[in-house]
Amino acid sequence: MAYSPKEIIKVLEANGWHLDRIKGSHHVYKNDALQKSVPIPVHGNRDLGRGLFYKILKQCGIDRDEL
């Protein structure tokens, strides 16, 4: 199953992340409380693979069960 970048962005924003900057086709989200940044690839209508989706969640400290 593939996930759109919009889906991961909704999850991040619901967990206290905000858009910090856009560099090319990557949106960089930041969490001030955790002092972390994570890039989200947004390549038009292309979906993220399941592995990349879960890797981004892991980098952000979000559990799969929280979805």
pLDDT tens digits, one per residue of 32-42: 999 999 999 99
Does 3 or 37 have the greater pLDDT score?
A: 37
Which pLDDT belongs to residue 24? Answer: 95
CATH classification at residue 41: 3.30.920.30
Backbone conformation region of residue 25, classed left if phi is above 0, alpha if psi is from -120 to 50, else beta: alpha
Identity of the residue numbered 45: N
Per-residue pLDDT band at 64 (split at 50, 70, 90):
confident
* Overall domain count for the chain: 1
Residue-range definition of the domain harbouring residue 37:
5-66
pTM over the 0.85 mark: yes
List, for residues 40-58, the tens digit of each pLDDT value: 999 988 999 999 999 999 9
Structure tokens at 12: 């991040």
